[in-house]
Amino acid sequence: MKKVLLFINLLIIAVTTAQTSDDNQDALITDRPDVTESPFTVGKGNFQIETGATFVDNSENGLKITETVYNTTLLRYGLSNNFELRLGWDFLNSNTKDGSQELFDVTGFNPLLIGAKIEITDEKDWIPQIGLLTHLRLPFTAVSEFKPEDTGMELIFAFNHTLTDQSGLGYNLGTRIGDNRSLEYIYSVSYGHSITDKIGVYGELYGDFPEEGKSAHLWDAGITYLVNNNFQLDATVGTGFQDSNTQQDLLFSIGLSYRILKK
């Protein structure tokens, strides 16, 4: 109980401290909590931390599969005003049960993600803001139970349209090489709306079309709270659409993003 109270006190202190920081910079733009990646980079010399915890409840061929990601972290650093480096690593627990019988329970790191993002064009009239992301997932950085046989790769084009002063539309189109070396075509569409200067909400559709196996289509929705221009809190809930062999029953996530500006 004392540890819980200590964590709450530290969070209150962090929020209170952040509220007094410099608000003269451009507002924070993040790649979380939604699946849709933004086309914007963090800016030259800036460092951005995006982290959180996620719970996912799946069912597959009669099995119950739960994943608890204790730390889903993405680090972003701007090498120039339109190019950034990206590093991500998840620490999670995966548990599989057949009824009351536990078949699999492992805790450890997923493969490390390394990549980059570049801004291609700025938004002008009917032309959206466009960015390009590429990532590699390195098998040797994961625990043996989560280790794929080959390096995973993905290439994503990210787009953003400003609809009004309070709303915007983001969407992604891309390809990914999965663990079985088959190609997957991935998509996402996210609509965001600012309720106030600090509170925003969004709704999103996303999924994939693999060359082998069935496609998956999901949705999520969430809320963000901009403590200041460099610190944001978020929460998300979602689930899957289709009734297939594999089905996402519930997704829940909370997290934060913090930007350290170049001095």
Per-residue b/e over 198-207, b at no fewer than 16 CB within 10 Å?
eebebebbbb
The pLDDT value recorded for residue 263 is 82
In this prediction, residues 27-35 reach a mean pLDDT of: 94
In this prediction, residues 227-234 reach a mean pLDDT of: 97
Domain segments of the chain as ranges: 29-260
| Separation CA 206–CA 189 (nearest Å) | 6
More confident residue, 42 or 182: 42
- Give the model confidence (pLDDT) of 65-93 as tens digits: 999 999 999 999 999 999 999 999 999 99
Q: Is the confidence at residue 32, as pLDDT, over 50?
A: yes
In this prediction, residues 124-134 reach a mean pLDDT of: 96
43: left (phi over 0), alpha (psi -120 to 50) or beta: left
Percent of the chain with pLDDT over 90: 74
In this prediction, residues 214-232 reach a mean pLDDT of: 95
Q: What token pair was written down for 48?
A: 């951005």
Are residues 109 and 146 in contact, defined by beta-carbon separation less than 8 angstroms?
yes
Are residues 72 and 257 in contact, defined by beta-carbon separation less than 8 angstroms?
no
Phi and psi angles of residue 13, each rounded to the nearest 5 degrees, phi first: -65, -40
The DSSP annotation for 99-126 comes to TTEEEEEEEEEPPEEEEEEEEEE--BTT
Q: Is the confidence at residue 178, as pLDDT, over 90?
A: no
223 three-class SS? strand
Q: Is the confidence at residue 232, as pLDDT, over 80?
A: yes
User: Angle at Cα 215 formed by Cα 185 and Cα 101, nearest 5°?
Assistant: 125
Would you give the DSSP letter of residue 127?
A: B
- H or E stretch covering 167: strand 167-177
Q: Is the confidence at residue 8, as pLDDT, over 90?
A: no
In this prediction, residues 235-256 reach a mean pLDDT of: 85
61: left (phi over 0), alpha (psi -120 to 50) or beta: left
User: Angle at Cα 9 formed by Cα 7 and Cα 13, nearest 5°?
Assistant: 115
Q: Is the confidence at residue 13, as pLDDT, over 90?
A: no
Dihedral sign from CA coordinates of 9, 11, 12, 16: positive
The pLDDT value recorded for residue 181 is 74
CATH architecture of 29-260: Beta Barrel (2.40)
Mean of per-residue pLDDT scores for the chain: 88
Residue with tokens 């801004």: 119
Q: What token pair was written down for 204?
A: 């999103």
pTM for the whole structure: 0.87
Residue 50 CB neighbour total at 10 angstroms: 23
Q: Give residue 50's pLDDT band: very low, low, confident or very high (50, 70, 90).
A: very high
Q: Which amino acid is at 211?
A: E
Q: Is the confidence at residue 10, as pLDDT, over 60?
A: no
| Separation CA 206–CA 171 (nearest Å) | 9
